[in-house]
Amino acid sequence: MSLAPWRSRLTLALERNPQLNARYLQLATVGADNRPANRTVVFRGFYVDTDKLKFVVDARSQKITQIEQHPWAETCWYFPESREQFRISGCLTLVIANYPDLALQQARQDTWQELSDAARLQYTWPDPGQPKADAAAFESLPPNPKEPLPHFCLLLLQPVQVDHLELRGEPQNRWIYCRNDVNDWSTQAINP
Amino acid sequence: MSLAPWRSRLTLALERNPQLNARYLQLATVGADNRPANRTVVFRGFYVDTDKLKFVVDARSQKITQIEQHPWAETCWYFPESREQFRISGCLTLVIANYPDLALQQARQDTWQELSDAARLQYTWPDPGQPKADAAAFESLPPNPKEPLPHFCLLLLQPVQVDHLELRGEPQNRWIYCRNDVNDWSTQAINP
Residue B98's domain comprises: 7-104+152-190
* pLDDT for position B185: 97
Query: B92 with B113: CB under 8 angstroms?
Result: no
Contacts of A131 in chain B (CB under 8 A): 188-191
In a domain, A1, yes or no: no
pLDDT at B83 over 70: yes
In a domain, A133, yes or no: yes
In a domain, B53, yes or no: yes
Q: Cβ contact (<8 Å) for A28 and B21?
A: no
* pLDDT for position A169: 82
The predicted model gives B42-61 an average pLDDT of 97
In a domain, A40, yes or no: yes
Q: Mutate which of B39, B63, B91, B187 to test chain A, going by most A C-beta atoms within 10 A?
A: B39
Question: What pLDDT digit, counting tens, does each position of B88-106 carry?
Answer: 999 999 999 999 999 999 9
Query: Model confidence at B170, in pLDDT bands (50, 70, 90)?
Result: confident
**CA B73 and chain centroid, separation:** 10
In a domain, B42, yes or no: yes
Contacts of A85 in chain B (CB under 8 A): 39-40
What stretches of chain A adopt beta strand conformation (E)? 24-30, 36-42, 53-58, 72-79, 84-95, 152-166, 173-179, 185-190
Query: A51 with A88: CB under 8 angstroms?
Result: no
Query: A16 with A9: CB under 8 angstroms?
Result: no
Q: Mutate which of A81, A86, A132 to test chain B, going by most B C-beta atoms within 10 A?
A: A132
In a domain, B132, yes or no: no
Q: Cβ contact (<8 Å) for B191 and A132?
A: yes
Nearest Cα neighbor of B65 from B93, B31, B101 is B31
Please tell me the pTM assigned to this model.
Answer: 0.97
Question: What pLDDT digit, counting tens, does each position of B9-42 carry?
Answer: 999 999 999 998 899 999 999 998 999 999 999 9
In a domain, A165, yes or no: yes
Inter-chain Cβ pairs, chain A and chain B, closer than 8 A: 136
Please provide the average confidence, as pLDDT, over all residues in chain B.
Answer: 96
DSSP B149-174: -TTEEEEEEEEEEEEEEETTSSS-EE
* pLDDT for position B137: 95
Q: Mutate which of A24, A29, A39 to test chain B, going by most B C-beta atoms within 10 A?
A: A39
B125: phi then psi, degrees, rounded to nearest 5: -70, 160
* pLDDT for position A153: 98
In a domain, A85, yes or no: yes
Residues of chain A with pLDDT under 70: 1
Please provide the average confidence, as pLDDT, over all residues in chain A.
Answer: 96
How many domains does chain A fold into? Answer: 1
* Interface predicted TM-score (ipTM): 0.96
Contacts of B24 in chain A (CB under 8 A): 78, 80
* pLDDT for position B1: 64
The C-alpha of B28 sits at a distance from chain A's nearest C-alpha, in angstroms, of 6
The predicted model gives B130-137 an average pLDDT of 96
Contacts of A126 in chain B (CB under 8 A): 191
Contacts of A40 in chain B (CB under 8 A): 76, 78, 85
C-alpha to C-alpha distance for A38 and B173, rounded to whole angstroms: 19
Query: A157 with A92: CB under 8 angstroms?
Result: yes
CATH number of the domain enclosing B66? 2.30.110.10
Q: Cβ contact (<8 Å) for B191 and A80?
A: no
